[in-house]
Amino acid sequence: MATIVQGTPSVPWLCEEMTVTDPQHDDTPEMHNNAPILHTSASGGRPPLIGLIGGALVLVLIGAGLAFALPSPGTPATGSAPSAAVPALATAQARVPASAADMPTSSVPTALPLPQAIGDVSSTEPVAHVGDATITRGEFVRAYQPGDPPGDVLNQLIQVELVVQAAHTEGVTVDQKKVDDRISQIKSQNGTGDEATFLAFLQKNKISSLDELRGLLERDQVVEQMLLVHTTLEQVHARRILLTATADKIDARKAEAEALLTQIQGGADFAQIATQKSEDPASKDKGGDLGWLPRGLLESEFDTAVFSMKKDELRLIKAQVPPQAQAQAQANWQIIQVIDLPKVRGLDRRDVLGTKPGQQAFSETFLPWVAKLKSDAEAAQKIKILVTDDQLVTKPGA
């Protein structure tokens, strides 16, 4: 049965490492002629999402599907892992003279120790209130990485809680089967078949029980849904049949495409022909359906056509293959059809967040939405911070 989740703490290091890129930078992953080009995590298969950028919000579990980056039971647990939440402060590097190798060890400067969180993950001491919800010291300890500005980490936990509360208001629910599947996957990936071994594994990594893990996974799912719904941009729903062509086959492949287009215009089923003839591995088994797409995911020729077409219109276009893929084909012919006209809407697929248009939309729509959640909560005096930074982390050298 679907449930609404509230008040369950986030765990930064449960998620796979996220890609952090600049929406204006050319290295942002994009989709090309046949399928999206995505980076995958070492844990296998699941594309990392955008690292939440801009400094306004870092929801460390957002959309990553909790593909564990935890050590296996045979690996000593360090109790921490690289934080996707806040860019950790770089460890101070000692400036050692060129002749340091000849100096006594006591003369060589050493790096200052980094601040550490005060307390442990079991603490239920409140450090902030967000409406009726409480953020505990244990949640802070779990989220904190040595050297992070403590106020930033607490602010992120507050923002996560505001997003979860907004999800409750909007009626967002949890798919418990997906949660069960993720727990099974985590056990399998980390070689923890029996319950005792799995519980010991979780406890080494700051999770006290299976129920707590379930709560974290549920919260992750809720926040991901909110990320997709509130990252909005103009998109069009289209389908296509794609035929690739080497330099010596461009005319021949055009003739094939024209013949297929004639069949469709004569009443043949588009989806059936796409399944049989399309060479786009990402869409052929879906009858050529590409889903909702923003500008910039596919070729510029595709965008120019599809965002100017009428509903149900058919068109044959030629698109150039990106240089990095031209070893297999030089161009492709596409029969495209608009299923639904362009409109501004949320995302259906998390992989779009790893692309340039997805990251730009995230910066321009999701972050401002979260900022408004926070400003509205502050105006209503719903946020109360109960501790100072000095009460959250140690002072190096003190």
Report how far residue 192's alpha carbon sits from residue 65's, in angstroms, rounded to the nearest whole number: 19
69-99 pLDDT, tens digit per residue, is 333 333 333 333 223 332 222 222 233 333 3
Longest dimension (CA), the chain: 88
In a domain, 108, yes or no: no
pLDDT the model gives residue 96: 32
Q: Could you tell me which of 146, 183, 201 has the C-alpha nearest to residue 66?
A: 183
Q: Tell me the CATH number at 308.
A: 3.10.50.40
With beta carbons less than 8 A apart as the criterion, state whether 22 and 355 touch.
Answer: no
How many folded domains does the chain comprise?
2
Are residues 143 and 194 both part of a single domain?
A: yes
Are residues 313 and 380 both part of a single domain?
A: no
**Strand residues in the chain grouped as ranges (E):** 126-130, 133-136, 233-245, 289-294, 314-320, 331-345, 383-385
Q: Which two tokens stand for residue 41?
A: 């995590």
Are residues 261 and 287 both part of a single domain?
A: yes
111-129 pLDDT, tens digit per residue, is 678 999 999 888 999 999 9
Asked if pLDDT for residue 253 goes beyond 60, the answer is yes
Q: Which long-range contacts (CB under 8 A, 24 or more apart) does 380-387 make?
A: 382/129, 382/130, 382/131, 383/128, 383/129, 383/130, 383/158, 384/128, 384/129, 385/127, 385/128, 385/154, 386/126, 386/127, 386/128, 386/129, 387/127, 387/128
In a domain, 183, yes or no: yes
The dihedral through the CA atoms of 305, 310, 316, 322 has a sign that is: positive
CA torsion 176→178→180→184, rounded to 10°?
-170
What are the beta bridge partners of residue 335?
241, 316
pLDDT the model gives residue 73: 37
Q: Mean pLDDT for the chain?
A: 76
For the ranges 10-14, 38-42, 101-105, 286-290, the one whose mean pLDDT is highest: 286-290
What is the percent of the chain where pLDDT is above 70? Answer: 71
In a domain, 294, yes or no: yes
**Structural domain of 248:** 234-345
CA torsion 260→266→270→274, rounded to 10°?
-20
Are residues 238 and 227 both part of a single domain?
A: no
Q: Which two tokens stand for residue 301?
A: 């020729």
Q: Tell me the CATH number at 143.
A: 1.10.4030
Are residues 300 and 160 both part of a single domain?
A: no
Are residues 319 and 208 both part of a single domain?
A: no
Are residues 126 and 23 both part of a single domain?
A: yes
In a domain, 367, yes or no: yes
Residue partners of 266: CB distance under 8 A and separation at least 6: none
Looking at 64-78, 80-94, 185-199, 242-256, which range is the least confident one? Answer: 80-94
In a domain, 106, yes or no: no
In a domain, 97, yes or no: no
Are residues 189 and 305 both part of a single domain?
A: no
Are residues 68 and 146 both part of a single domain?
A: yes
Looking at 19-33, 154-168, 185-199, 324-338, which range is the least confident one? Answer: 19-33
**Percentages (nearest 5) of helix, strand, coil residues in the chain:** 40, 15, 45
The type of residue at 176 is: Q
Query: Residue 320 — pLDDT band, cuts 50, 70, 90?
Result: confident
Instruction: For residue 113, report the phi and psi dihedrals to the nearest 5 degrees.
Output: -65, 150
In a domain, 309, yes or no: yes
Are residues 219 and 123 both part of a single domain?
A: yes
pLDDT the model gives residue 21: 38
Are residues 219 and 118 both part of a single domain?
A: yes
Are residues 129 and 256 both part of a single domain?
A: no
Residue partners of 218: CB distance under 8 A and separation at least 6: 3, 5, 8, 174, 179
CA 126 to chain CA centroid, Å, is 29
In a domain, 3, yes or no: no
